[in-house]
């Protein structure tokens, strides 16, 4: 089955995100075109795009959405009102945009990295945050964020010097605080990638020496060891529970005491490491055909 028109959604500028990375979007575009699909890149906030002209809309790399979150929510509302066929589903994108979704997952039994919620307009109280988290170092970041934007690593000893800056940031948006996990520096952070609810491949991301950020544009490296079965089992259960109807899902987590503890469930615009696993593009395509067929049947 080939669809008449497919939109591969991106943003105006990929900026730093293209540094040190293969062009995953171009790779995916060429693969789908070779499969006979009529596919084109479309910028999500381009007002000139007629979204009803597409048989399917694949959300791939709107990597500036968290800088324009209200516009992004408005765009999702528009797609929903127009009855567009969107992968991943609009309701899922809306839910996943704000990390408050951690609360939903935690109440349903998922192990989440301990989190303190810092509401917009609140005052940052270092003593209470460090007491609640129980570690000597914490990570503070926005609830709606990506690419380590405004992400701060703060030790208890230096927390006072960050208070004014965090209070200023809290005037604009809510934040959260989590423990700084040395395991991310020593062991790395796992990413498990699923297509159509089925496991495809995994990578282990490691920060460069002296840094805590595993993103490749901060010098992080990507490795492909076979993931421990217990960790994969947990990641699979998470996808089955929260992302079964998704074209793509990425479960990011760290191993603590033999268990996978969730760092992120990426359902909007994750890098999918398609070049790291033979057959990944084919598995992506098979999932797309299956879900696109299901969407067509509902119309």
The reply to whether 148 falls in a domain is yes
In a shared domain, residues 106 and 204: yes
The pLDDT tens digits of the residues spanning 172-227 come to: 999 999 999 888 888 999 999 999 999 999 999 987 555 544 455 445 679 999 99
Cα 209 to its chain centre, rounded Å, is: 24
Task: Clarify whether residues 285 and 255 are in a common domain.
Answer: no
Same domain? For 225 and 106 the reply is yes
Quote the percentage of the chain above a pLDDT of 70: 90
Residue 231 and residue 107 share a domain: yes
Do you know the residue count of the chain? 299
Residue 4: alpha-carbon gap to chain centroid: 29
Shared-domain flag, residues 227 and 142 = no
Domain count for the chain? 3
- 107 and 216 inside one domain: yes
Q: Are residues 89 and 129 in the same domain?
A: no
Helix (H, G, I), strand (E, B) or coil at 252: strand
Asked whether residue 157 falls in the same domain as residue 210, the answer is no
On whether both 139 and 236 belong to a single domain, the answer is no
State yes or no: pLDDT of 17 exceeds 60. Answer: no
Instruction: Confirm whether 260 is domain-assigned.
Output: yes
Distance in angstroms (rounded) separating the CA atoms of residues 132 and 129: 5
Which range marks the domain in which residue 255 is found? Answer: 101-111+183-273
Query: Are 87 and 194 members of one domain?
Result: no
pTM score: 0.91
Query: What is the pLDDT at residue 214?
Result: 45
């Amino acid at each position: 089955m080939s669809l008449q028109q497919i939109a591969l959604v991106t943003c105006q500028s990929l900026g730093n995100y293209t540094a040190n990375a293969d062009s995953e979007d171009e790779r995916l575009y060429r693969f789908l075109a070779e499969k006979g699909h009529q596919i084109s890149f479309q910028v999500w906030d381009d007002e000139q795009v007629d979204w009803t002209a597409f048989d399917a809309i694949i959300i791939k790399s709107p990597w500036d959405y968290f800088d324009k979150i209200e516009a992004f929510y408005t765009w999702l509302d528009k797609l929903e009102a127009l009855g567009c066929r969107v992968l991943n589903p609009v309701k899922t994108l809306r839910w996943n945009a704000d990390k408050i979704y951690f609360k939903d997952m935690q109440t349903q039994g998922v192990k989440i990295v301990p989190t303190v919620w810092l509401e917009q307009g609140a005052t940052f109280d270092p003593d209470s945050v460090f007491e609640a988290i129980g570690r000597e170092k914490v990570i503070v970041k926005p609830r709606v964020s990506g690419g380590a934007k405004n992400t701060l690593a703060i030790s208890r000893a230096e927390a006072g010097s960050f208070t004014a800056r965090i209070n200023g940031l809290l005037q604009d948006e809510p934040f959260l605080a989590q423990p700084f996990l040395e395991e991310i520096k020593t062991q790395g952070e796992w990413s498990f990638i699923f297509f159509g609810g089925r496991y495809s491949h995994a990578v282990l991301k490691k920060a460069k020496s002296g840094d805590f950020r595993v993103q490749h544009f901060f010098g992080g490296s990507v490795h492909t060891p076979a993931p421990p079965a217990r960790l994969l089992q947990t990641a699979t259960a998470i996808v089955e529970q929260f992302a079964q109807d998704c074209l793509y899902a990425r479960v990011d987590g760290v191993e603590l005491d033999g268990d996978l503890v969730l760092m992120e469930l990426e359902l909007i615009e994750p890098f999918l490491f398609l070049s790291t696993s033979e057959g990944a593009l084919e598995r992506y395509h098979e999932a797309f055909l299956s879900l696109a067929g299901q969407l067509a049947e509902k119309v």
